[in-house]
Amino acid sequence: MTEPTFAGQVSRWYEQHARDLPWREPGVSPWAILVSEVMLQQTPVARVLPAWQAWLDRWPTPAALAADSPAEAIRMWGRLGYPRRAVRLRECAVAIVERHGGDVPDRLEQLLALPGVGTYTARAVAAFAYGQRHPVVDTNVRRVVCRAVAGEPDAGPATRPADLVATEELLPVEPAAAALASAAIMELGAVVCTARSPRCGACPVEATCAWRASGQVAPAGPTRRPQRYAGTDRQVRGLLLGVLREATGPVPHQRLDQVWADDVQRARALAGLVTDGLVEPVGERAFRLIGDGPPAPVAG
């Protein structure tokens, strides 16, 4: 299997079968692509679609978001989950305005220096917004490369430097073709080469897939299961944030006490929201979303 053959086959498949997603449309701004990449982390596409459009309707540019409060970013984030992403995205917008005149930078090192932008997001924006040649590696890409090239069933829980190298070796030399191939490999992992139910008969590289040739040996370790949500601190945090998002001012402690019966767990969840920079105390017995109003008075 040669590099151009793999990239070319997957790219041709993508051009015929890719999902019609709005952030893939021609002319979509780098800011819109950056927002989509942040929202899509650990959140299904179906939930992201309406949130992404509403976000861009309100804040079509980094400058628009930077001029608003972090509390409003948290409110607009709604129930997408992992709301710290909303605060970091606003911090990213502020940095883009201050460092780059309001334009999302196109150099990888500048993208990596933005708040909340890591290895994956920086390379995704460079490739998908600016057509550059970078290995864009998420869970789906690692799975495809691990199976098709290495013949292994599972790529493991985290991206390693070796994953970037293995993916880059598959990309065409020409930047635009490489960016297309990056999107195509990711899409293949998302809709065909899935973790639990791969549709090998629909795969454009089935004939040369090393894992398919090996007989599709199952992973040696236990299958990763979705994390439990009910009864966890995550659920309590979400309930507390729900009350605070709906409020127009500080929320008395007594109101928050009604959210969850377990005093210890509720206090722990609320303290975590404060530590994460999502919520701030107002006086001794009230709380609000971070930055939701004038600075809270300092107790003297």
Active site residues: 37
Distance, CA of 161 to CA of 163 (rounded, Å): 5
209/200 Cα distance (integer angstroms): 9
Among 278, 269, 201, residue whose Cα is nearest residue 237: 269
Decide if 240 contacts 259 (C-beta within 8 A).
Answer: yes
State both tokens at 287.
């709380």
Report phi then psi at 18, rounded to 5.
Answer: -60, 145
DSSP string, 156-200: -SS--HHHHHHHHTTS-SSHHHHHHHHHHHHHHHHHTS-SSS--G
Q: Which two tokens stand for residue 43?
A: 């959140």
Q: State both tokens at 93.
A: 């917008």
